[in-house]
A and B are shown apart, each in its own frame.
Chain A
């Protein structure tokens, strides 16, 4: 049977992830130092793991309600209020999802009709565009620039608005650039959303990893509560990537719509992860602060290293990525990443994996040990010197 003919044209239209291709090369090599990992290098703090083990011992292995354990939703509501003074009703305005990934997929499917356009500042997380396409929408990317520290402005968005624009999808602190948006920056985006009557999906998975100033939750801006679909989760702040627990917070009618899809496709997020997430919210603050503090120290170290080797690099204020420009080497992002991997066994991710406007940059994750960062910097510097000398 020729399966290529049977696969849906929509799925066929989606390009395979640029990261995947690079992973295949890097995974085969030995002695590779990786700055290509998009998850914390810390293991989930022990008290969180232990709470899950305790839950398993007590037989907590069942489905939960579709929306997730009520206790978890109550804790989420509490933390959102404590952190950002936003009030969400645990019973009607919160849905526990399988990571932010599922939350994003549900939001897109519950929102979009064929042809609806979604504005996405770029470079952006690899799945944003594909999620829109799979939900029948049209992803309209809006390039952000290093001159503006990869922040998005209303003026830039204005150039891409059409009568079909329905949603604006933002993710700050940003993967891959490490960019953050100040409250003032976001207020301008909020006015833009009102002007064009757009829904805003705000992916704030890296919110806790903000190193300069405090994170502004988009729905905490005036008049944004009802217009915002807030997505967040436990993966980055609590080093809980493998647990797959996220959540969506939004208007009750919309949460009900998302829950409808969730109940037929996922039923519920795994109970083990939900139990662990409760523990993370109740007692995880101290460990989280320690991890954030360590990321911040490594951030300064890696930024200093790249600037020293003469690569243009803006200071990332959030997440755990550095996004240096490699344009002066004359190589494309992919060439740079591939040649570096073969020559010096350092893996990082070519910027174009995050969209066309990521070309000319590479993403370096500093979610790795200080020793690894130091050794990687030595190798990259040697590589850059050899390129620019020849």
Chain B
């Protein structure tokens, strides 16, 4: 089961037939497991990692440190939800340390992101303060090195 998930995490476009061979597992079992993973939200979604910079599409991302006042009974969850429901918000993590929520916001330009922080994020009830850090360059994302120059084939074509 773990092996199948690892294969899917690396490349979900592989056919069930191929995965069946690689994992020595009947193809029906593979399909059944994938359906189960999707049903139970173990597989949350399938995504593609795109180097937008290379594609010539302008995007600006800010990582915002948010301090909040937790609410009785729901703690941080309610405020977190009010934040993550915005489509501009790419990720939200509850953190230990000097602030509470780490919020990544994406926009087409700096003004758009700044606008979102000042008018939407910081005005949410319970948000005490925000510190906005703009991302300058993306080197690695979701375990994948962006624009990796290293892994090219450098071995001899034939060797003993």
| A301 partner, pick from B22, B151, B153, B160, beta carbons under 8 A | B22
Chain A residue at smallest Cβ distance from B14: A370
Once the chains bind, are B157 and A23 in contact (CB under 8 Å)?
Answer: yes
Once the chains bind, are A126 and B156 in contact (CB under 8 Å)?
Answer: no
User: Contacts of A293 on B, CB cut-off 8 Å?
Assistant: 3
Binary contact track A144-184/B, C-beta < 8 Å → 1, others 0: 00000000000000000000000000000001000000000
User: Contacts of B156 on A, CB cut-off 8 Å?
Assistant: 23, 27, 37
| A17 partner, pick from B22, B24, B150, B160, beta carbons under 8 A | B160
| B157 partner, pick from A27, A127, A370, beta carbons under 8 A | A27
Once the chains bind, are B23 and A297 in contact (CB under 8 Å)?
Answer: yes
Once the chains bind, are B21 and A300 in contact (CB under 8 Å)?
Answer: yes
User: Does A36 make an interface contact (CB < 8 A)?
Assistant: yes
Kindly state the interface size class of chain A when it binds its partner: 20 to 34
User: Contacts of B18 on A, CB cut-off 8 Å?
Assistant: 301, 370, 374
User: Does B74 make an interface contact (CB < 8 A)?
Assistant: no
Once the chains bind, are B21 and A301 in contact (CB under 8 Å)?
Answer: yes
User: Does A4 make an interface contact (CB < 8 A)?
Assistant: no
User: Does B85 make an interface contact (CB < 8 A)?
Assistant: no
- Choose among B3, B151, B156, B158 the residue with the greatest number of A CB atoms under 10 Å from its CB: B158
User: Contacts of A95 on B, CB cut-off 8 Å?
Assistant: none
Once the chains bind, are A37 and B151 in contact (CB under 8 Å)?
Answer: no
19 contacts between A and B (CB under 8 A): A19-B158, A23-B156, A23-B157, A23-B158, A34-B157, A36-B157, A37-B158, A39-B155, A41-B153, A41-B155, A127-B160, A297-B22, A297-B23, A300-B23, A300-B24, A301-B21, A353-B160, A370-B18, A370-B22
The interface residues of chain B, by DSSP majority, are classed as loop
Q: Given A43-B150, A43-B151, answer yes or no on A304-B21 (Cβ-Cβ < 8 Å).
A: yes
User: Contacts of B160 on A, CB cut-off 8 Å?
Assistant: 17, 19, 38, 125-127, 175, 353
User: Does A32 make an interface contact (CB < 8 A)?
Assistant: yes
Smallest Cβ distance from A303 to chain B, in angstroms? 8
* Complex alpha-carbon distance, A349 and B160, angstroms: 9
User: Does A22 make an interface contact (CB < 8 A)?
Assistant: yes
Once the chains bind, are A23 and B159 in contact (CB under 8 Å)?
Answer: yes
* Complex alpha-carbon distance, A8 and B3, angstroms: 55
User: Contacts of B153 on A, CB cut-off 8 Å?
Assistant: 41
* Complex alpha-carbon distance, A125 and B160, angstroms: 7
Smallest Cβ distance from A90 to chain B, in angstroms? 30
User: Contacts of A39 on B, CB cut-off 8 Å?
Assistant: 155, 159
Chain B residue at smallest Cβ distance from A27: B157
Smallest Cβ distance from B29 to chain A, in angstroms? 15
User: Contacts of A34 on B, CB cut-off 8 Å?
Assistant: 157-158
- Choose among B21, B23, B157, B159 the residue with the greatest number of A CB atoms under 10 Å from its CB: B157
* Complex alpha-carbon distance, A32 and B158, angstroms: 11
* Complex alpha-carbon distance, A7 and B157, angstroms: 30
| B159 partner, pick from A32, A38, A297, A300, beta carbons under 8 A | A38
Chain A residue at smallest Cβ distance from B22: A297
Binary contact track A292-304/B, C-beta < 8 Å → 1, others 0: 0100011011001
